[in-house]
């Protein structure tokens, strides 16, 4: 039986576009010098009904930090503290950046109402210039978190990796396979441990590099693509767009951003490579358009002219599924194997062709089946082959109608080194 799963939200925000301070949003949130000192509450080191594997907590947190340190010019140091409660929401905190799971009144208050289903919450304190002075992480004390893959629990390392992205100033990503994607899931989703987001995607790396620059010693990074999108009437501020860059040789999603209120965008933190840039209008049914293509040199900034599109599509790609579950979480696959995957959306039952935006993937045409969930929601179930040479990263599912108009499920498939045992076959 197919089961529709509701994914659990974390901190509500945008990304990879960074978070800003000030009325005009002119100051990105950032730690001075990229140096962060955090304290791990002793509540994280005690075995309890809501935390399993406490003896591995510090090593899991350290690995999460090391991934961000390897991606950009940041350093995160940890110590242990007896403090259990984060700073109350106010103009200033207590100066101690904390990671905690303690059941204190201040912590529990964060997980009432709309926040009740969140896996964790990050509260950031900063000044008018966007300088971060404190950032506190609270794991939801009402849910089970583990370091050992316990079914039904949230993976500690994945959760902390995500929340540290917020600590560094990132909001949420729109790339399904990114660590900073807004939805999280418990171990057992798709019949596997949910550990794939321990690893940073291209979008995560580009986002943090756009704030702090390249990791220490990297002299090649970073390049940037700038441009502007307009509505069909030519007005820059009438419509919001999502704009993303794809690595041309592999088809992997490199980074995705949203336009500002003037229709402008900047995709920074990019390695020198050949990129194709795509865009689609938000809040409607605009078709995906190819903006331009560029071979970026080292530390190059390229600016594209304004682009717009008035074409619309009668369908939308809204999520993915696997192993009998629709969840809106990227499906992890392995190079050299074939899998049956689902892509869901409105109107995709009417002459829509499914493919993947990479030569490393092949959809078996005679395997495509239509599933009706009711209420106008359909899913296309299909077998996709992943070539042995496919690089790790996020790849997009493409839905195309007979007129060549398309919509993408951005990063709906993620090639992982972690084994997905539910393959149909190897080849």
Residues 193, 420: Cα–Cα separation, whole Å: 10
Whether the domain at 8-199 and the domain at 218-303 fall into the same CATH topology: no
Residue 350 has pLDDT above 90, yes or no: no
Question: What is the per-residue pLDDT for 107?
Answer: 94
Which residues are 415's β-sheet partners?
Answer: 333, 393
Residue 23 has pLDDT above 80, yes or no: no
374-419 pLDDT, tens per residue?
888 899 999 999 999 999 999 999 999 999 999 999 999 999 998 9
Question: What is the per-residue pLDDT for 4?
Answer: 29
Provide the pairing of β-strand 223-228 with 241-247.
Answer: unpaired
Superfamily of domain 319-426: Immunoglobulins (2.60.40.10)
Q: Which two tokens stand for residue 268?
A: 């920074």
Question: What is the per-residue pLDDT for 9?
Answer: 24
Contact 334, 256 (CB under 8 A): no
Question: What is the per-residue pLDDT for 92?
Answer: 81
Of residues 364 and 233, the one with the higher pLDDT is 364
Most confident of 16-30, 49-63, 89-103: 49-63
DSSP for 368-402 reads -EEEEEETTEEEEEEEEEE-TTPPSEEEEEEEE-T
Residues 144, 52: Cα–Cα separation, whole Å: 8
Residue 237 has pLDDT above 60, yes or no: no
Average pLDDT in the chain: 89
Instruction: Please compute Rg for the chain using Cα positions.
Output: 21
Q: Selecting from 3.30.230.70, 2.40.30.10, 3.40.50.970, 2.60.40.10, what CATH number does the domain 218-303 have?
A: 2.60.40.10
Question: What is the per-residue pLDDT for 7?
Answer: 29
Q: How many Cα atoms sit within 13 Å of 72 on the Cβ side? A: 31
Residues 314, 356: Cα–Cα separation, whole Å: 20
Distances in Å between the Cα of 356 and the Cα atoms of 2, 285, 411 are: 23, 20, 10
Residues 102, 105: Cα–Cα separation, whole Å: 9
Q: Which two tokens stand for residue 296?
A: 């970026």
Task: Show me where the domains of the chain are located.
Answer: 8-199, 218-303, 319-426
Interhelix angle for 57-71 vs 202-212, to 10°? 70
Residue 229 has pLDDT above 60, yes or no: yes
Name the pLDDT band for 90 (thresholds 50, 70, 90): confident
In 3D space, the residue among 394, 245, 405, 416 whose CA is nearest the CA of residue 320 turns out to be: 394
CATH placement of domain 8-199:
3.40.390.10
113-171 pLDDT, tens per residue?
877 889 999 999 999 889 999 999 999 999 999 999 999 999 999 999 999 999 999 99
């Amino acid at each position: 039986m197919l089961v529709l799963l509701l994914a659990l939200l974390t901190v509500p925000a945008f990304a990879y576009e960074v978070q800003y301070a000030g009325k005009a949003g002119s100051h990105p949130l950032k730690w001075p010098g990229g140096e962060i000192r955090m304290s791990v509450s002793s509540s994280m080191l005690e075995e309890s009904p809501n935390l399993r594997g406490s003896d591995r907590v510090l090593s899991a947190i350290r690995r999460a930090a090391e991934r961000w340190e390897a991606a950009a010019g940041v350093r995160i140091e940890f110590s242990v503290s007896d403090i259990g409660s984060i700073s109350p929401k106010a103009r200033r905190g207590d100066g101690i950046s904390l990671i905690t799971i303690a059941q204190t009144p201040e912590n529990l208050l964060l997980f009432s109402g709309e926040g009740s289903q969140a896996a964790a919450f990050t509260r950031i304190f900063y000044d008018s210039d966007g300088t971060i002075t404190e950032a506190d992480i609270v794991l939801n004390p009402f849910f089970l978190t583990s370091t050992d893959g316990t079914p039904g629990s949230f993976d500690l390392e994945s959760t902390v990796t995500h929340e540290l992205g917020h600590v560094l100033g990132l909001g949420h990503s729109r790339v399904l396979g990114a660590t900073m994607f807004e939805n999280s899931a418990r171990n057992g989703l798709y019949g596997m441990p949910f550990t794939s987001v321990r690893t940073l995607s291209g979008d995560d790396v580009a986002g943090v590099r756009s704030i702090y620059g390249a990791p220490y010693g990297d002299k090649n990074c970073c390049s940037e693509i700038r441009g502007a999108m307009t509505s069909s009437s030519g007005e820059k501020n009438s419509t919001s767009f999502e704009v993303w860059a794809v690595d041309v040789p592999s088809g992997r999603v490199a980074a995705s951003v949203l336009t500002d209120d003037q229709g402008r965008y900047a995709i920074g933190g990019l390695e020198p490579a050949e990129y194709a840039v795509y865009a689609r209008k938000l809040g409607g049914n605009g078709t995906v358009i190819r903006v331009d293509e560029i071979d970026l040199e080292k530390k190059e900034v390229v600016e594209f002219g304004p682009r717009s599109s008035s074409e619309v599509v009668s369908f939308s790609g809204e999520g993915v599924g696997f192993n009998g579950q629709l969840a809106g979480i990227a499906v992890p696959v392995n190079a050299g194997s074939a899998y049956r995957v689902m892509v869901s959306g409105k109107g995709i039952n009417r002459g829509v062709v499914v493919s993947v935006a990479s030569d490393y993937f092949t959809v078996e045409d005679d395997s495509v089946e239509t599933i009706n969930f009711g209420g106008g929601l359909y899913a296309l179930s299909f077998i996709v082959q992943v070539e042995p040479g496919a690089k790790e990263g996020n790849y997009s599912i493409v839905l195309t109608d007979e007129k060549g108009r398309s919509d993408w499920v951005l990063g709906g498939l993620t090639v992982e080194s972690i084994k997905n045992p539910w393959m149909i076959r190897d080849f």
